[in-house]
Structures are given as C-alpha cells and as structure tokens.
Amino acid sequence: MRGPTFPPTIDHAEVPRMNPEEITAAENLARQLRVDSIRSSTSAGSGHPTSSLSAADLIAVLATRHLRYDWAHPEVPTNDHLVFSKGHASPLIYSLYRAVGVVDEHELVDTYRRFGARLQGHPTPVLPWVDLATGSLGLGIAAAVGIAIAGSRLDELPYRVWVLCGDSELTEGSVWEALDKASYYSLANFTAIVDVNRLGQRGPTELGWDLDAYAARVEAFGCAAITVDGHDVAAIDDAFATAAAAGRPSVVLARTLKGKGVAEIEDKEGWHGTALKPDLAERAIRELGGTSSIRVGSLTPPPGRPAITPDPLAVIELPRYPLGEKVATRKAYGDALAALADRPEVVVLDAEVGNSTGSESFLAVAPERYFETFIAEQLMVAAAGGLAARGYVPFAATFGAFFSRAFDFVRMSGISGLRIRLAGSHAGVEIGADGPSQMALEDLASMRAVHGSTVLYPSDATSAVALVVAMADAPGVAYIRTTRGAYPVLYGAAESFSIGGSKVTRSSDADAVTLVGAGVTLYECLSAADLLAAEGVAARVVDCYSVKPIDAEGLASACRATGGRIVVAEDHYPAGGLGEAVLAAIVGAGVRPSFAHLAVRGLSSSGTPAELLDAAGISAVHIADAARGLLRA
C-alpha cells in the first residue's frame, strides 16, 4: 500500500528566509560557477556551458545552504548525496568542486575533457564525490531512488538525496518510474530539482515553461511539487527548505533561462552542447563580472551511526538437492537468495515476477530488504545501482527478455563499476508455450558486452546455488541466466563451482568429439553423447556454466584431446552467445578447431520445450548429427 497522502501545497511562510548577506554570497557564487563553466568548456573546446549556466543559481543555493557534505571526507556515511542526472552539465558540478576546494584551477581549466583526466565529459565515480556515472538521461533520478531507499529504509541515516534533472529529461519514462517508487516507498529524503530552461538540444521542449503542467504530473505520482523562479536565490532557498520539510518525496520545478547571464546566448536556440569561442567567452566572462576565487565551506553532516558493513566472510548454509531430483534453476536462485539473507548487505529487487524468478524466497526470510519495483525494469536496475553505491549487494530479477528495456542502465552500471547482480529467468525457446515475446535469446550477448561483466548460465540446482553465492562477491555487473523448467540435479553438494570455470561431465581416453552446452543444452549434449555411444563413438561433454569469464584453457584442452572437434549448442541466437565465446576462447588459446555451432537461428513460436528445442536445431539428435558431420570431415 502507498503511504499517507499529503496536501499539494505547503505554507512557505513557515520557512526561514535568507538574510541579505547570504543572498549576496549565493549570487556571487552563482556568477563564479557560470564563469568557471564557460572557462572550462571553452578551454576544452566542447561541453555544455548553457545547460550549466541555467542551473548555477540552484547549485549555489544548494551548496551554501542545504547540502550537508564534508567535502574533505566523502566517505562520511551521513553526507548528503548530489546526483547530476543531467550529467551533461558537468562544467557546473566541476566548477562547484573548485569552489569547495577539492579541484584546483589547473585541473578545472586545463584538464576538463582531456585524455586521462578525472574531469570527464560526464561525471564518473573516478571522482570520490560522484556516486555513479550519469549522462544517460533518466538514469540519475532513478538511481537516486536506490540511494534514498538505502538511507531511509535500510541504513536509517539522516542524509538527503538531491538530484539535478533537466526538463528535456522529463520525457524519459524512467523519471516517472522513479517518482512513482519514491512515493510508494515514502522517501521523504528525496528531492529532485528540475532545471526548466525551456530549450532542449534541437529546440524547445515539449512543455516549455508550463510549470503548472509539470507540477500536475509530479503530484499525480504522489510527490510534492514546488515551483520557483530558478534565478531568485531567496525563493530557491525557500523552495529547498520547503522540500526538505515536505514529509514526502519532493520535486522543485525551477523556471530558468538557458545561458543565463550572457546576453548573446541567453534563451536562444542553437547553443546546446556548444562551447563558447574564446572571443565570446571573454565577453561573457566580462559581462558576468570576471573571474573570482570564492571558497565555500562544508555544511556539517548530521551525526549518525556507521553505514552497513558488508560481511563477505559470513558462513552461508547452502541448500542441498538429491542427485536426480528435478529442480528448476530459477527455484535454486531463490533458495540461494534465502541463504544469503544472513549477510546484512544483501538486498533483493524484483519486477513483480518474484513468484516466477524465485526472488520471493528472500521476501519470506528478509522482507525488510526486499523491494518490489513492479513492472519497472529501468527503475529496478538503476535503483540497484544506487543501493550498490551505498555498499549494498543488490540482486535484481525479471524475465531475461525484459532486461533489454533496462540495458542502457546495465551498461551505465558497468561504466560506474557498480556491483549489481542480475538474474534473468525464462530464457530461450525452452520456456515453451508463452511464445517468442517472452524468450530471452539475446541476453547472453548483451550482458557479455557490458564492461567488466560476469555472465553465468548454470544447468542444475547445485551449480545455480553455488554460482549465486559466488556472484555476491564478484566485481562489476554479474548476470545469471536461469531456466524455467525443472531438470535433474547433476552435481553433488560437495562439488565446487568458480566463476571462470567449467565442468567436464563425461569423458574417456577414447573421446573423439567435444560437446559443449550450458543450461538446458547441457542435458541435450548428455543425451547426444548417449546416442553417439550407442554407435561406438565416445564424446566428451563440457558444462560451460561460466560464459564470461570463460574457461579458455579447459575448453582448449578438451578440444585438443578430441582431435580438435567441438560442437557447441546453445538456446540463444548465434550472435554474441555461448558459441562465439567458446570459439574465441579456444582460438585465443592457440587451437584451430573443427567447429560446429548450433543455435536458435529462426523465429520461434509456441510449443512444448521439447518441440521448440528440436525445431530450433539444438536438441540431442541435432547435436549428435553435428558431431557425426565433424567425424566424417
């Protein structure tokens, strides 16, 4: 259920106002932020100065009056969080860093956007004051929901999450997913600040300066909407104070001018993403009052207990399954999550399919660390990133096909180096009668492509449990593909599984061909080996459960031992999946194989799993036939 409702308006008269000296100080800082945004982007020859100039007053007031942050110690757990969802306004945040003394003049002006520099075109966590990489619009605000959940529902720490958004960004669906879930979870520590400057990249935005329309939408999603003149620092201060006291998530809608303060470009089209030429920059800086070196001190964070301390060495009692018992790996995923509940840093998110993905098993034992995002896959992945930025180990699950909606945010998690764990169930044609819309046949390829990712595809319950536990401590983005149907347990509880490994499930000195499968196709490979054995042909069978990193040496060794003959079968499209991973690995290890690759090459339909596997050409009879072809060759 949603939390209590609140009146849409709040009495601003109760909010204390800035005194004249504070107003002047904020205005002077805003001018400096504008000047420095111009200087850095002009020096680089690229950037987004006009998007920075419009929001300078907002950031000046925030930094001097509301952002409780110890700039010298970004690790302090009670520090507020400032997320630039409009990451293209990086000149502004970097100019703030100069004002607070953590970036010097040289770094700001001479290294911005240069090769090897910390001050990249869009902010990344190479800077200790940045929680996660932004620049994909709609990501920052959704990730901020995860940060706010950590503070209000898990850590119970008194920090506030401030998010700067652009008005063009508000056409992204993930923005409204974020506001909806911020309201659902009553995140009173969450404030989005929208820089409504009317102009997008190629022209006017959809709603222009219609703050009433924006406010109606915000209120409809259960958040407090506060409208303000984005260049009146006293009014901005009132708005921020009102937001902090709203008792629910809030959105400050600030009417601004793009390029504010520079008459030649102010509120004019055609200046988005364009650095000022040196002569124009010189005139603009003169118009803004010249360069300055205002320094802003830290606003002391409130006291609070330490943040969560991960315990990767906690002893986990893993579930055990009798050999031969039929258990779906999606169920084993849930069983493993329930076992991991003993680690307080593990949290689980699910997109309203927890009874199918297995996630509900964690809900039963640790409901306070289970977060239902409903059918909002983008929000789920981004919020997992926000939780990871706070030191949690988030597991997020949905059907494998539907991670494609959120792939951009998965990609951004890889750029940030965030440790998020994703589980995609109902993969491949094996799911049967639901039909092609539900069949993840591209997921291995997309997840393999993510920077620094781990991709796992267990076949049975024992390996699935072991790999889920291993995922908890893996670096970066880790993805596990689980199977809908129940299949026999192949491995005993004592069997070990490591990321980057593989298992030889059948072998002999007489093996003439290697059959490689993962997940459901491992069983088809074993059946194919039986068919070949009946003809007097011995086949080695390899369980390639770790798709990335892959066991290159183990696969190469099996290939060498079987005369270079190797068949790979996968319930996935041929591009970017298991077959290409195996081929690259063995060729990279110096083996030139005789290679057959069986994959789903056509558009599938509804049917039984057996019918669909056979129709796709990846069933045992097709694997055996491919092996015979290699032997004949």
pLDDT in tens, 319-344: 999 999 999 999 999 999 999 999 99
Three-class secondary structure of residue 371 per DSSP: strand
Among left, alpha and beta (phi > 0; psi -120 to 50; other), residue 164 is beta
What are the distances in angstroms from CA 69 to CA 25, 75, 160, 249, 296? 19, 10, 10, 20, 11
Measured over the CA atoms of residue 479, residue 484, residue 490 and residue 493, the dihedral's sign is positive
Q: Rg for the chain (alpha carbons), in Å?
A: 28
What's the mean pLDDT in 1-15? Answer: 35
For 316, other C-beta atoms within 10 Å of its C-beta total: 15
Q: How far apart are CA 468 and CA 465, in angstroms?
A: 5
437 in any annotated domain: yes
Residue 440 and residue 571 in one domain: no
pLDDT band at 312 (very low <50, low <70, confident <90, very high): low
Q: What percentage of the chain reaches a pLDDT higher than 90? A: 94
Task: Report pLDDT digits (tens) over 552-605.
Answer: 999 999 999 999 999 999 999 999 999 999 999 999 999 999 999 999 999 999
User: Which pTM does this prediction carry?
Assistant: 0.95
Instruction: Tell me: pLDDT of 256 over 70.
Output: yes
Q: What is the pLDDT of residue 177?
A: 98
- Check: CB of residue 394 under 8 Å from CB of residue 380: no
Q: How far apart are CA 587 and CA 623, in angstroms?
A: 21
What's the mean pLDDT in 459-469? Answer: 98
Task: Report pLDDT digits (tens) over 400-415.
Answer: 999 999 999 999 999 9
Instruction: Tell me: pLDDT of 20 over 80.
Output: yes
Task: Report pLDDT digits (tens) over 155-212.
Answer: 989 999 999 999 999 999 999 999 999 999 999 999 999 999 999 999 999 999 999 9
300 in any annotated domain: no
Residue 600 and residue 532 in one domain: yes
Residue 129 and residue 42 in one domain: yes
Q: Is 553 a catalytic residue?
A: no
Catalytic residue among 27, 177, 345, 377: 377
- Distance from the first to the final alpha carbon of the chain: 65
Three-class secondary structure of residue 480 per DSSP: strand
Q: What is the pLDDT of residue 1?
A: 27
**Phi and psi dihedrals of 486, rounded to 5?**
-90, 130
Instruction: Tell me: pLDDT of 100 over 70.
Output: yes
pLDDT band at 4 (very low <50, low <70, confident <90, very high): very low
What are the distances in angstroms from CA 409 to CA 129, 211, 281, 349, 628? 20, 28, 35, 15, 44
312 in any annotated domain: no
What's the mean pLDDT in 222-242? Answer: 97
Collect all residues with Cβ–Cβ distance below 8 Å to 36 and sequence separation of at least 6.
91, 94, 95, 98, 99, 108, 109, 291
306 in any annotated domain: no
Of 459, 488, 517, which residue constitutes the final position of a domain? 488
- Check: CB of residue 397 under 8 Å from CB of residue 359: yes
Q: How many structural domains comprise the chain?
A: 3
Of 454, 488, 522, which residue constitutes the final position of a domain? 488
296 in any annotated domain: no
Residue 422 and residue 542 in one domain: no
Print the domain residue range for 526.
Answer: 503-632
Residue 68 and residue 170 in one domain: yes
Q: At 439, list the tokens.
A: 């069949």
Give the CATH number, domain containing residue 607. 3.40.50.920
Residue 384 and residue 517 in one domain: no
The DSSP secondary-structure symbol of 88 reads G
- Check: CB of residue 463 under 8 Å from CB of residue 301: no
Q: What is the pLDDT of residue 3?
A: 34
309 in any annotated domain: no
Strands (E), 376-446: 393-399, 421-425
577 in any annotated domain: yes
pLDDT band at 305 (very low <50, low <70, confident <90, very high): confident
Of 488, 520, 548, which residue constitutes the final position of a domain? 488
Task: Tokens 């002569």: give the residue.
Answer: 279
Instruction: Tell me: pLDDT of 15 over 50.
Output: no
Q: At 136, list the tokens.
A: 């994909």
Q: How far apart are CA 103 and CA 359, in angstroms?
A: 44
The whole-chain average pLDDT of the chain stands at 95
Three-class secondary structure of residue 590 per DSSP: coil
One DSSP character per residue, 523-558 reads HHHHHHHHHHHTTT--EEEEE--EEES--HHHHHHH
- Check: CB of residue 196 under 8 Å from CB of residue 223: no
Residue 338 and residue 283 in one domain: no
Give the CATH number, domain containing residue 40. 3.40.50.970
Residue 355 and residue 272 in one domain: no
Q: At 288, list the tokens.
A: 């803004």
- Check: CB of residue 458 under 8 Å from CB of residue 545: yes
Residue 417 and residue 521 in one domain: no
